[in-house]
Amino acid sequence: MEIIHVSAECYPVAKAGGLGDVVGSLPKYQTKAGHFAKVVMPMYRTKFLYNNEWVVDYKGNAFLGDTYFEFTIIKEKTNKLGFDLFLVDINGLLDREKIYGYADDTERFIAFQIAVATWLNAWEHRPDIVHVHDYHAGLLPFMFKNCLAFRKLAFVKTILTIHNAQYQGSMGWDKYKLLPAYDSFKWGDLDWNNSINPLASAIKCAWKVTTVSQSYMNELRSSSNGLELLFEYEKGKCVGILNGIDNEVWNPETDGYLYNKYSIKGVTLGKKKNKKKICEEYGLDESLPLFVFIGRLVGEKAADILPNALMNVLYHQSGKASYMILGSGEKQIESQLFNITTSNKGYYNTYIGYDEALSHKLYAAADFLLMPSCVEPCGLNQMYAMRYGTIPMVRSTGGLKDTVKDMGEWEGFGIRFNNASVEDIAHSVYRAIEVYKNKTHIEWMRKYMMQIDHSWEQVVEAYTWVYQH
Ligand code: ADP
């Protein structure tokens, strides 16, 4: 099958979170399975762009409302990522360093989607599947069905994957002029709560909808930032498919970022050496269990309660553990987390920012990974942690619930708790410190979870099944 993935992120070109990881690996494994998978994304000004060779694939023009724009689609020359990669260049809109966070994000992503539809419309044949990811590509199923300029694409099968339903790209109806002319009787396909809602539109117009775990799909019907009823209406076409992880990138035996590579057999010593290095670098006590948090510092990840929770455990479990935070996000949370450093030297440190290499080093060095997320559609961090023999401590939600078994259960290897609260986090840290004293149990859990298979091969099959339907 020929599958076109349309996304705002794709690792290693540009990544802000799990979406980038998934779009960087799913097409690679689809190609290995015999499909022709391609990715098309905006041409941000990232390192990857400058460090690779490109050829021009298509030049076109279109209108964004009244504004005429020209765009160029370039293709990576060497198939470096294991699939065809196309970047859409639109001067003045996509030629930025960051992926999101600009005042004109609405215009940027609509123009990107118009360019993609114009490009596909110009092809002599039609792809089997156009697979759109999250709201940034969410207007495409509507455009294919209802825009006069794209009649040729009207019967192209579209799949929407929801990586995060919190972000919906909702905009006022005054923005309707930005869209190419469409059958105005179909305005209801764009509308949700009197706004144009790209995610809702994609749920209505795509042929199938997938979410990145089964539990998350169930949760969306009771909590999805206003779309609950829509998920209830459309549940017949929704399927939950747990993400995989790229075992070639995330492999402690070959990971070039690590101070010391290690296998399942050598996990105890291997992790110890990595921990020693990290502790030296960040001034932490290496003899204590090391807890890390890696992720976006936003309410969704429960990062807003993290400062209080950490101060609580640093006080009540004083001298019994070390903590390291890697993250960036809301400024207030960043400074609260940073400020704890001064009074807890030797036991606590932070790196405020985004650092891919450090994240790998921390997964390898840590004993425990803390993920108290309020919402977690799938969560990749806990799967990376497991692959590196790091015990995940997670709130029972979404994909965390589907991937982590509490150590109190038969063959359990993690720590689960119910509430994103200071009390539950503190109690979990206490449980972790206690179990850490039992070296045999810790080693058994590490070895057990490192063998769990979260590879993409089985996930590719699940997507193929959805495509075939
Ligand atoms: P989300 O997509 O909601 O951010 P996921 O768990 O699905 O959460 O994916 C997060 C990904 O982003 C992981 O690969 C994680 O290692 C990475 N990540 C998050 N924050 C940082 C950071 N500050 N530095 C490096 N990597 C980060």
Segment 427-456 shows an average pLDDT of: 97
Average pLDDT, integer, range 199-228: 97
Q: Which tens digit of pLDDT belongs to each residue from 8-28? A: 999 999 999 889 999 999 999
Predicted confidence band at 339 (pLDDT cuts at 50, 70, 90)? very high
Please work out whether the CB of residue 355 comes within 6 Å of at least one atom of ligand 1.
yes
Is the pLDDT at 86 greater than 90? The verdict is yes
Confirm or reject: Cβ of 296 under 6 Å from ligand 1. Answer: yes
**Closest residue to atom 17 of ligand 1, CA basis:** 17
Residue 370 Cα to ligand 1 middle (Å): 13
Evaluate if residue 325 carries a pLDDT over 90.
yes
pLDDT at 106 over 90: yes
Per-residue pLDDT, 307: 97
* Mean pLDDT along residues 276-288: 97
Which residues in 67-169 belong to E strands, given as ranges? Answer: 67-76, 84-89, 129-133, 157-162
- Output the residue whose Cα is nearest ligand 1's atom 21: 295
Count of Cβ atoms closer than 10 Å to residue 378 Cβ: 26
- For residues 96-110, give the mean pLDDT: 97
Locate 156 and state its tokens.
Answer: 């192209």
Nearest ligand 1 atom to the CA of 380 is 6
> Which residue is listed with tokens 């694409």?
153
The tens digit of pLDDT for each residue in 388-425 reads 999 999 999 999 999 999 999 999 999 999 999 999 99
CA of 20 to the centre of ligand 1 (A): 9
Pocket test for ligand 1, best of 162, 293, 352, 354 (most atoms within 8 A of CB): 354
Residues 289-305 have a mean pLDDT of 97
Specify the 3-state DSSP secondary structure of 11.
coil
Using the predicted structure, report yes or no on whether residue 61 has a pLDDT greater than 90: yes
Please tell me the residue having the least CA distance from ligand 1 atom 26.
356
**Residue 329 is inside which H or E element, if any?**
strand 322-329
Q: Which atom of ligand 1 is nearest to the CA of 15?
A: 12
Question: Per the structure block, which two tokens stand in for 198?
Answer: 């790209």
Mean pLDDT of 287-307: 97
Please indicate whether residue 195, judged by its CB atom, sits closer than 6 Å to ligand 1: no
Asked if residue 372 has a cis previous peptide bond (ω within 30° of 0), the answer is no
For residue 254, the model assigns a pLDDT of 98
* Atom in ligand 1 nearest the alpha carbon of residue 212: 7
| 3-state DSSP percent of the chain in helix, strand and coil, to 5 | 40, 20, 35
Ligand 1 atom closest to 163 (CA): 2
- Beta strands of 23-152 (E only): which ranges? 36-42, 54-64, 67-76, 84-89, 129-133
pLDDT, residue 17, reads 87
pLDDT of residue 15: 93
Ligand 1 pocket, residue 294 CB under 6 Å: yes
Q: Is 62 helix (H, G, I), strand (E, B) or coil?
A: strand
Bridge-based pairing state of the strands 368-371 and 290-297: parallel
- On whether the CB atoms of residues 135 and 162 are closer than 8 A, the answer is no
How many Å lie between the centroid of ligand 1 and the Cα of residue 181?
A: 38
* Å from CA of 333 to ligand 1 middle: 16
∠ CA 149-151-155, nearest 5°, is: 145
pLDDT above 70 coverage of the chain, percent: 100
**Atom number, ligand 1, closest to the C-alpha of residue 328:** 23
Q: Give the Å distance between the CA of 293 and the centre of ligand 1.
A: 10
